[in-house]
Structure 1
Amino acid sequence: MRTDAELFETYKRLVYRICFGMMQNKADAEDLCQETFVKALREDRSDVMHEKSWLIRIAINLCNNQLKRNSKGRYKELVAYVMSRTVHTEGVEQRFERKERAMEIDDYYAALPVKIRSVMTLKYVSELSVQEIAHTLGIPVGTVKSRLNKGLNVLRKRLDKENRVAVKGEECLD
């Protein structure tokens, strides 16, 4: 078993990324990351076999509780998160278009149910395997796969729906 300092140093970045992926707000992510470790360090860890999964579960639960309390919070999709981390050498027009697309995806991601959003965050932001997600959330592997599939399908349908509207509009102009 790790000391408190070792536990914190080992998992602080992972816990923060998960909190940020769920909350999409730096201040909220920092608060929830801190709250995760405060809660974890107060617990008796002698029976904990998988510290990583245990910490991730605490973080996800705290994020879910916060999301339930804060229905006005903004949630961003993985693309916005990833794009904000990369450095682009692009013109103002391309940067504006990229940010505009990211904001559209943000709205789609925010519409996902919390359970689906948490699975997608663990998969695409924290890069956990399906088995790790199942173990972390205490749900069957099939449920993880189902939620990932449903989340991707919901996002795909919303994007297709918008594209179809544009195509129909163009057909009317001919």
Structure 2
Amino acid sequence: MSDTSQITRDALLALRCQAGDDPQAYHDLVAEFERPLLYFSARLLGDENAALDVLQQVWWTAFRRLRRLEHPEQLRRWLYTVARAAAIDMIRKRDATYRQEREYAQEVAESVCEPEFDDSTAEAIHEGLGALPLALREVLTLHFLEELPVVDVAAIVGCPVGTVKSRLYHAKRQLRKILDACHES
């Protein structure tokens, strides 16, 4: 599906929800975005149960604030931004200090190389993602796994396009090192 037709579909869905006279609109909103938002949140958090909590927060926010969305064509971008903010809030609560986050990343990186690790490529990549710092993990997930353009990723994470490109470069390098280390052991 082309980007233009996707944006048009998103805008029409947002307008239906904003109108308030279509009881099916919010059901369609959830049906359209539940799986990709859950996947994105789970990749950021490394925990599907926590991602479900984030998803609940996204829907709560959407039901309360969607009527005020000024640019309906940016529905997708807005929902991912809400999900990202909720996930970051959860991470901040869970990991009170930077040191704790680094220890967690180290534990995950070490667990990737444990003997019981399943050699499936997809699983190895997801484990490797968990070892990356949040800033790298989120841009890699949004761009490659959610297939969002760099411009949208930049808007969602709130940084310039050049910064997103730099983070993608470093994320790919770090992920490659993690995967290579696992294959060597």
TM above 0.5, one fold? yes
Q: So what's the TM-score if we normalise by structure 1?
A: 0.68
Q: CA deviation at 1:8?
A: 2.3
Specify the alignment match of 1:145 in structure 2. 165
Question: What are structure 1's unaligned runs of at least 5 residues?
Answer: 81-94, 167-174
> What one-letter code is carried by the residue in structure 1 that aligns with 2:88?
N
Q: TM-score, normalised by structure 2?
A: 0.64
Cα distance in 2, alignment partners of residues 156 and 32 from structure 1: 29
Determine if contact 2:58/2:83 at 8 Å carries over to the other structure.
yes
Shift of 1:103: 6.3
Cα distance between partner residues in 2 of 1:121 and 1:60: 11
**Distance in 1 of aligned mates of 2:60 and 2:169:** 34
Q: Pick closer, same or farther for the CA change 1:54–1:105 going to 2, 3 Å.
A: closer
Q: Does 1:47 align with 2:70?
A: yes
1:98 aligns with 2:112: no
Equivalent AA in structure 2 for residue 27 of structure 1 = N
Which deviates more from structure 2 when the two are superposed, residues 19-28 or residues 145-154?
19-28
RMSD: 3.5
User: What does 1:2-21 align with in structure 2 at a 5 Å threshold?
Assistant: 2-3=16-17, 5=26, 6-21=28-43
TM-superposed deviation, 1:39:
1.3
1:67-106 equivalence runs, <5 A: 67-71=91-95, 97-98=118-119, 102=123, 106=127
Q: Which amino acid aligns with 1:32?
A: V
Identity %: 26
Corresponding pairs, count: 148
Q: Which residue matches 2:59?
A: 37
Classify 1:96/1:24 alpha carbon distance in 2 versus 1 (closer, same or farther; 3 Å): closer
- Deviations, residues 46-80 of structure 1 (Å, cap 9, x unaligned): 41331100000000111111122223797889xx9
Compared with structure 1, are the counterparts of its residues 142 and 67 closer, same or farther at alpha carbon in structure 2 (3 Å cutoff)?
A: same
Query: Which runs of structure 2 are paired with 1:154-173 in the superposition (5 Å)?
Result: 154-159=174-179
Q: What is the rounded CA distance, in whole Å, between the counterparts of 2:35 and 2:69 in structure 1? A: 23
Tell me the secondary structure at the aligned position of residue 68 of structure 2. Answer: coil
Q: 1:70-95 CA distances to partner (integer Å, 9 max, x unpaired)?
A: 23797889xx9xxxxxxxxxxxxxx9
Q: Distance in 1 between matches of 2:77 and 2:132?
A: 23
Q: Does 1:133 align with 2:157?
A: no
> Cα offset for 1:161?
6.2
